[in-house]
């Protein structure tokens, strides 16, 4: 059995991936994959993590979890896909006195130990720390910005050290990474990676993100072009989609409000440069499968 943990990060997905994947029942069934309903497992997995305190679950506990998540025992050889940004901790603990996602690496072994007899893998969508901080601060209006930042400076928030430690904590288990900003171009590939679905298999909803950020005219033209000129590779499809996005994207869908105390355009640019450098480093890391646009 394979168990996939989609780790978020916070403010990257809002369950879009897991919801879209679940709509592809036939494609999932052909590869023995199952997407349990989040309401069926999130509380159960949280309670098990607390009770186990990082130790491997015994067969009885594993069977109980499977029954709770699926309603019955998972068929042998199946691939279970779980998703929750809080797998890495609560959103208001993304930045602490200890640093940026400082507790994330320690979360992986306990997750894998929920089903120690299974082959676990981890999937993580990165996000520009500037965008992340703005989104998380907005979610907690009762907290001051200074309280949220816990003494950390915005330019000190880097993904590369976090991912490096997470990969080490994964101990050779598959670790897949992509950038949330790239999702309009790579959404189908991320879906297939999570589901273990072969390339070329059409998926329901694989263009749903494009539908949200492109004009109706642009989406209609894109579909018509792809129908008349079927792409011969993933790279070719991305090139076509990118060209249509350049012309038909709705700018307001890409705008992010970054109005935070002391933040300037120069600071945001500095954070973004740091993020881009981190992404380049992560993409080259041993042990990382990186989905690039």
Domain ranges of the chain: 2-201+267-290
The better pLDDT of the pair 272, 73 is held by 272
Report helix, strand and coil shares of the chain as percent, to nearest 5.
55, 10, 35
Mean pLDDT comparison of 30-44, 68-82, 98-112, highest-scoring range: 98-112
pLDDT digits (tens, 9 = 90+) for 251-261: 888 777 788 99
pTM of the model: 0.94
Mean pLDDT rounded to a whole number for the chain: 94
Q: Taking 90 as the threshold, does the pLDDT of residue 93 lie above it?
A: yes
Determine the longest span between alpha carbons in the chain, in angstroms.
56
- CA dihedral sign of residues 216, 218, 219, 220: positive
The better pLDDT of the pair 254, 53 is held by 53
Rounded Cα–Cα distance for residues 182 and 52 (Å): 36
Rounded Cα–Cα distance for residues 148 and 164 (Å): 24
Q: Specify the pLDDT at position 73.
A: 45
Residue 156 class from Cβ within 10 Å (0-12 exposed, 13-18 middle, 19+ buried)?
Answer: middle
Tokens 């990118």 belong to: 242
Confidence of residue 76 (pLDDT cuts 50, 70, 90): low
Q: Specify the pLDDT at position 32.
A: 92
Q: Which long-range contacts (CB under 8 A, 24 or more apart) does 147-153 make?
A: 148/92, 148/95, 149/95, 150/95, 150/96, 150/97, 151/97, 152/95, 152/96, 152/97, 152/99, 152/100
CATH code for the domain defined by 2-201+267-290: 3.40.50
Tell me the pairing of strands 95-96 and 99-100: antiparallel
- Give backbone dihedrals phi and psi of 33, rounded to 5 degrees, phi first: -100, 150
Rounded Cα–Cα distance for residues 262 and 225 (Å): 46
3-state secondary structure of 130: helix
DSSP state of 197: P
Q: Taking 50 as the threshold, does the pLDDT of residue 274 lie above it?
A: yes
Task: Name the percent of the chain lying above pLDDT 70.
Answer: 98
- CA dihedral sign of residues 230, 224, 18, 292: positive
Average of pLDDT values for 112-122? 97
Q: Taking 60 as the threshold, does the pLDDT of residue 194 lie above it?
A: yes
């Amino acid at each position: 059995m394979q168990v996939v943990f989609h780790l978020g990060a916070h403010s990257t997905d809002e369950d879009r991936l897991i919801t879209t994947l679940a709509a592809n029942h036939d494609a999932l069934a052909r590869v023995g994959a199952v997407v349990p309903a989040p309401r069926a497992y999130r509380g159960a997995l949280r309670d098990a993590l607390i009770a186990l305190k990082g130790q491997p679950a015994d067969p009885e506990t594993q069977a109980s979890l499977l029954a709770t998540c699926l309603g019955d025992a998972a068929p042998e050889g199946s691939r279970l896909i779980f998703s929750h940004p809080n797998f890495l901790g609560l959103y208001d603990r993304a930045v602490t006195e200890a640093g940026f996602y400082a507790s994330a690496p320690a979360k992986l072994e306990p997750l894998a130990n929920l089903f120690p007899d299974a082959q676990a893998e981890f999937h993580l969508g990165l996000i520009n720390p500037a965008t992340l901080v703005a989104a998380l601060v907005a979610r907690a209006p009762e907290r001051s910005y200074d309280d949220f930042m816990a003494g950390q400076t915005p330019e000190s928030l880097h993904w590369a050290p976090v991912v490096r430690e997470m990969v080490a904590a994964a101990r050779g288990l598959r670790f897949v990474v992509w950038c949330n900003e790239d999702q309009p171009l790579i959404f189908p590939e991320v879906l297939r990676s999570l589901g273990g679905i072969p390339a070329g298999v059409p998926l329901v909803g694989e263009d749903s993100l494009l539908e949200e950020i492109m004009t109706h005219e642009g989406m209609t033209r894109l579909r018509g072009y792809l129908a008349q000129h079927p792409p011969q590779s993933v790279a070719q499809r991305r090139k076509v989609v990118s060209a249509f996005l350049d012309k038909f994207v709705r700018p307001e869908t890409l705008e992010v409000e970054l109005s935070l105390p002391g933040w300037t355009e120069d600071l945001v640019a500095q954070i973004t440069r740091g993020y881009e450098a981190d992404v380049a480093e992560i993409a080259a890391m041993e042990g990382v499968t990186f989905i690039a646009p």
